[in-house]
Amino acid sequence: MNSISLNNVLPSFLSDAPVASEIWGRDIAFAKGEYVLVTAVSGAGKSSLLSYIFGERCDFSGTITYGQQPLEVIKAKYWSQLRSRHISYVFQGLRLFSDLTALENILIKNRLIGQKTAAEIYAMLDAAGLADKKQEKAGRLSFGQQQRIAVIRALCQPFDFLLLDEPFSHLDDANISIVSSLIEQELRSRGAGLLLCSLGQEYSFNYHHHFKL
């Protein structure tokens, strides 16, 4: 999948208010291989934007198109393929299984496609400073540790686009650098696009576009 296009997309919660946005109500295309930063104040709809693209919510007007396929005609079977092979997503709330270990949370995703070997997963955990936490239940980890697990899990599938919703909010500068490097390596190896939403932090990616929501 080479592009995701938004055509006059406007959330229902903004339909009765004037909108000054570089995305809402406009025609925007995100291209595979390009890095895009979206910044906004809290409540402007960053998580909503990613939820619309991921097909989790449809409370908006306008059209979202994946390649040449409009969202409104996509069937459940294609959504499964889209989410397992073309779009990977690190949710702001992470959505880890708290009763499963860090490693089990990663393996659930990896076993769907077999994207990574066990050695590759262990190497990512080690690089992220989590080698000694892989058998710890996710619910007992700090939120920063959980964020790193969620990022690694998202990298353990094929994707053309990686969606990140405030992925580093509980990480210090050293860990942000480490995790960003892991992400950058995967983006380059796949020729994938990045769509990162934040409250204003730009982090260290070399963005092609910066939109203010």
Here the CATH number for the domain that contains residue 187 is 3.40.50.300
pLDDT of the chain, 213 residues: tens digit per residue: 999 999 999 999 887 766 789 999 999 999 999 999 999 988 889 999 999 999 999 999 999 999 988 988 888 778 889 999 999 999 999 999 999 999 999 999 999 889 999 999 999 999 999 999 999 999 999 999 999 999 999 999 999 999 999 999 999 999 999 999 999 999 999 999 999 999 988 898 999 999 999
For the chain, report the end-to-end CA distance as a whole number of angstroms: 24
Taking a C-beta distance cutoff of 8 angstroms, is the pair 64, 28 a contact? Answer: no
Query: How many folded domains does the chain comprise?
Result: 1
pTM over 0.85: yes
For the chain, what's the residue count?
213
Q: Which domain holds residue 141?
A: 3-212
Sign, Cα dihedral of 59, 202, 31, 82: negative
pLDDT of residue 18: 62
